[in-house]
Amino acid sequence: MAKKKFVVACYDDDDKVFPAIKKCKEAGYKIHDVYTPFPVHGLDHALGMRETSLHTAGFIFGITGTTTALSCMTWILTSDWPQIYGGKPHFALPAFIPITFELTVLFAAVGMVMTFMWICKLAPGVKKHIFDVRATDDLFVMPIECTSKTNVEDLEAFMQSTGACKVNVQVAETEWWWGRYDVDDEPYLINDVPVEA
Amino acid sequence: MSLFKYESEVREPLVKGNKTYHQITEDIIKPIEVKPTKLWYVGLVIALILLGFGVLSVYQEVVYGIGQWNLNKTVGWGWDITNFVWWVGIGHAGTLISAILLLFRQGWRTGVNRAAEAMTIFAVMCAGQFPIFHMGRVWMAMYVLPYPNTRGSLWPNFESPLLWDVFAISTYFTVSLLFWYSGLLPDFATVRDRAKTKLRKLLYGVAAFGWSGSTKHWQRHESLSLVLAGLSTPLVLSVHTIVSFDFATSVIPGWHTSIFPPYFVAGAVFSGFAMVQTLLLMVRHVLGLQDYITMGHIEAMNKVIVLTASIVGCAYLTELFMAWYSQNKYEGYAFFYSRVNLFSPYGWSYWGMMSCNVIVPQIFWFSKLRRNIALTFFMSILINVGMWFERFVIIVTSIYRDYLPSSWTVYYSPTIWEIGFYLGTFGLFFTCFFLFAKYFPVIAVAEIKSVLKTTGDNYHEKMLPAEQMTAEEFAHEYAH
């Protein structure tokens, strides 16, 4: 658990976020993240993020499913309990295809969703700090991390100049924790005033 | 003199009215936050009564045995399997809308995909009940699963289409559920962050899994949706293909047909879209979502309906042609006596199917009729009646008279408990759907927001000045 101080700038339009990111980068400020109500295309590249390799995980889970299905059916029908069904040979590959296909899809889908939840830290009971409740409604929220050298007033003024509609200072936990959203289990500070529940 | 036209004049806006992001949230989330209407309670109570009757019917079957149904040696599959295939077919439209239309970049899917996927999940839940209780000794249902056991280990027959069904339908249900729920996470977070009451904050907080809207998460979410769509597309085609294998791999005249897989898939899409129309027309009216589920959406779905109606029509005629062309007398009897002959015992069901599925839906070639709400609603119900007839025709008319005339069945008609089971699944389906419509965002809020800037009045206003510019002005303005 690590608490950090942030200057949080909120923008009311996705088109205002891109120039703001450019300005922040030029000024050398460290952008913690941008929280948006919907996927804004190109934002990941603007922030310098690399492509996700989630689909590679999906592929690996998929071929795991394929091999699981094929090897299990082959073992069961050729060595564990060999039986002849409908005059087919013990190793009747065409008749194995439907189940092999279904298990490929099942493993890939379940594996990918689990991986997605693991790397994004999403699960029932997980709680994360919300910089602005309207980040899931209509605001594009960009917290800038403050270091010991940062002049907070200057940074606030700078963020105002980038076209933000709202700027405030917050001390926030950056990691996730187990918690409930209906209870305030961490006293977060917005503009140095404790938040009301 | 305008140089360019940015907005297609043929394509209608996906969202009507000059909406802001906040307004979209308000319009779609509001129904969750207010008390339900009287109509909703009435609907829910009716659904629960049907569900209760269904539970009683299933109780009768489980306690007194499968003899509570009018199935017999000749008609071994009757209403139960008819209803199973019918419900599974309905369950196809959701994934088709959310997956195939995503891959084809059809913008209009955003307005309808959430409700269609919910419908898919509920329909598959209903479908699953029939084969499970058809087993008779339902407490041994787990025997279909391949787990090491003390009976040998004795394994199920992996080469049987009935076992393929077990795998296909459980996979389809799981993948649809994951796809649907991963799409719901951001919208649950929206409800959570707007919530005024403690209980709502708690429940939607748990349901949203701690979604924050971080850019990295969105990037992964997009990737996840795309791959899940890519996986679901062959999956949705495989499921009804495998259901059709239940029939096509047998040697019963009327079932033993290689046209079944594509014909079943087309029929499934057909009935699924009809059910989506039935539900969305109600949701749109009751929740006042006319700006999001527009005439354009309804017309687009009616176009899919007329296309798939024509495909199944072709399939029906191909079957008849093949029955004649093969000169097989059993095949000929199944098609030309048991089905086409209106005066044979089940001739009424064949002609019911033909008129509801093929003949009447042709009216949707006319744009005026495609855009008529009352007619669309009526047609959506008629088509599902027709599709029920189709399954009944395939199953019962093929088996009620087999090779041995001494075992020909007397007229098969269902008992009250068979009908009750069917009504019970309606109860289950609508109970789930009413709860969904009240407690879930029925339209994908985040997805609508992401298409807002490229469609509708906002886009039109933004692009109007650009359309008036000369080439030089345009190049100056837009050359970054």
Enumerate the residues of chain B whose CB falls inside 8 A of the CB of residue A124: 206-207, 209
Say which of A36, A55, A99 has its CB closest to residue B215.
A36
Contact B215 A72 (CB under 8 A): no
B421 vs B402: CA distance, rounded Å: 27
Q: Can you give the pLDDT at residue A197?
A: 36
B116 vs B102: CA distance, rounded Å: 13
Q: DSSP per residue over A8-47, as a string?
A: EEEES-HHHHHHHHHHHHHHT-EE---B-SS--TTHHHHT
Residue B1 has pLDDT above 60, yes or no: no
Tell me the pLDDT band of A188, cut-offs 50, 70 and 90.
low
As a whole-number percent, the residues of chain B with pLDDT over 70 amount to 96
Distance between A154 CA and the closest CA of chain B, angstroms:
26
User: Region B182-210: what's the mean pLDDT?
Assistant: 92
Enumerate the residues of chain A whose CB falls inside 8 A of the CB of residue B144: none
φ/ψ (deg, to 5) at B222? -65, -45
Tell me the pLDDT band of A109, cut-offs 50, 70 and 90.
very high
Query: Could you check whether the bond before residue B232 is cis, i.e. omega within 30 degrees of 0?
Result: no
In chain B, the residue whose alpha carbon lies closest to the alpha carbon of A197 is: B198
User: Region A55-68: what's the mean pLDDT?
Assistant: 95
Contact B158 A116 (CB under 8 A): no
Alpha helices in chain A (DSSP H): 14-27, 43-46, 54-75, 93-120, 152-161
Query: How does the average pLDDT of chain A come out, rounded?
Result: 88
Residue B2 has pLDDT above 50, yes or no: no
List the domains of chain A with CATH numbers.
Answer: 3-35+131-194 (3.30.70.120), 54-120 (no CATH)
Residues 6+ apart with CB under 8 A from B435: B44
Encode pLDDT of A9-37 as tens digits: 999 888 889 999 999 989 888 899 999 99
Tell me the pLDDT band of A101, cut-offs 50, 70 and 90.
very high
Is residue B8 in some structural domain?
no
Say which of A55, A81, A130 has its CB closest to residue B154.
A81
Residue B444 has pLDDT above 60, yes or no: yes
Q: Can you give the pLDDT at residue B134?
A: 92
Contact A122 B155 (CB under 8 A): no
Q: Can you give the pLDDT at residue B452?
A: 81
* Tally of domains in chain B: 1
Q: Can you give the pLDDT at residue B14?
A: 80
* Among B120, B442, B375, CA closest to B271: B120
* Among B153, B133, B157, CA closest to B144: B157
Is residue B73 in some structural domain?
yes
Is residue B470 in some structural domain?
no
Pair A8, A20: CB distance under 8 Å: no
Encode pLDDT of A122-139 as tens digits: 999 888 888 998 999 889
Enumerate the residues of chain A whose CB falls inside 8 A of the CB of residue B154: 81
As a whole-number percent, the residues of chain B with pLDDT over 90 amount to 57
Pair B191, B204: CB distance under 8 Å: yes
Enumerate the residues of chain A whose CB falls inside 8 A of the CB of residue B213: 35-37, 135-136, 141
φ/ψ (deg, to 5) at A61? -60, -40
Which residues sit opposite A168 in a β-bridge? A8
In chain A, the residue whose alpha carbon lies closest to the alpha carbon of B233 is: A105
Cα A45 to Cα A14, A25, A36, A52: the distances in Å are 14, 13, 15, 11
Q: Can you give the pLDDT at residue B306?
A: 94
B326 vs B343: CA distance, rounded Å: 24
Encode pLDDT of B269-313 as tens digits: 999 999 999 999 998 888 888 888 888 889 989 999 999 999 999
Enumerate the residues of chain B whose CB falls inside 8 A of the CB of residue A76: 146, 155, 158
Number of residues written out for chain B = 480
Enumerate the residues of chain A whose CB falls inside 8 A of the CB of residue B194: 133, 137
Q: Does A8 lie at the interface with B, CB-CB under 8 angstroms?
A: no
Q: Which helix (H) or strand (E) holds A187?
A: none
Q: Can you give the pLDDT at residue B94?
A: 82
Alpha helices in B105-160 (DSSP H): 109-134
pTM score of the predicted model: 0.91
Residue B410 has pLDDT above 80, yes or no: no
Is residue B422 in some structural domain?
yes
φ/ψ (deg, to 5) at B336? -90, -25
Q: Does A94 lie at the interface with B, CB-CB under 8 angstroms?
A: no
Enumerate the residues of chain A whose CB falls inside 8 A of the CB of residue B168: 98, 102
Is residue B473 in some structural domain?
no
Q: Which helix (H) or strand (E) holds B441?
A: none
* Exposure on the CB side of residue A77, measured as CA atoms within 13 A: 22
For B471, other C-beta atoms within 10 Å of its C-beta total 9
Q: Can you give the pLDDT at residue A196?
A: 44
Q: Does A74 lie at the interface with B, CB-CB under 8 angstroms?
A: no
Q: Does A138 lie at the interface with B, CB-CB under 8 angstroms?
A: yes
B337 vs B334: CA distance, rounded Å: 6
Distance between B346 CA and the closest CA of chain A, angstroms:
32
Say which of B174, B210, B215 has its CB closest to residue A126.
B210
Contact A109 B218 (CB under 8 A): no
Enumerate the residues of chain A whose CB falls inside 8 A of the CB of residue B182: 113, 116
Is residue B423 in some structural domain?
yes
The three-state secondary structure class of B372 is coil
Residues 6+ apart with CB under 8 A from B80: B69, B71, B130, B131, B133, B134, B418, B421
The CB-based long-range contact list for B460-466 (8 Å cut-off, 24+ gap) reads B460/B7, B460/B13, B461/B18, B463/B6, B463/B7, B466/B4, B466/B6
Is residue B265 in some structural domain?
yes
B51 vs B209: CA distance, rounded Å: 31
Contact B214 A33 (CB under 8 A): yes
User: Region A136-144: what's the mean pLDDT?
Assistant: 91
Encode pLDDT of B222-260 as tens digits: 999 999 999 998 999 999 999 999 999 988 888 988 899
- Structural domain including B336 reads 21-145+170-403+417-456
Q: Is B455 or A77 the better-scoring residue by pLDDT?
A: A77
Q: Does A92 lie at the interface with B, CB-CB under 8 angstroms?
A: yes
Contact B211 A47 (CB under 8 A): no
Encode pLDDT of B86-140 as tens digits: 999 999 888 888 888 888 878 788 888 899 999 999 999 999 999 999 988 899 9
Contact B157 A85 (CB under 8 A): yes
**Radius of gyration of the CA atoms of chain A, in A:** 25
Residue A174 has pLDDT above 90, yes or no: no
Q: Does A185 lie at the interface with B, CB-CB under 8 angstroms?
A: no
Cα A51 to Cα A43, B62, B174, B217, B291: the distances in Å are 12, 54, 27, 12, 35
Say which of A39, A83, A88 has its CB closest to residue B450.
A39
Residue A84 has pLDDT above 70, yes or no: yes
* Among B129, B91, B143, CA closest to B418: B129
Which residues sit opposite A141 in a β-bridge? A10, A35
Is residue B306 in some structural domain?
yes
Q: Vertex A163, ends A26 and A4: CA angle to 5°? A: 65
Residues 6+ apart with CB under 8 A from B305: B270, B273, B274, B277, B361, B364, B379, B383
Q: What is the ipTM of this complex?
A: 0.91
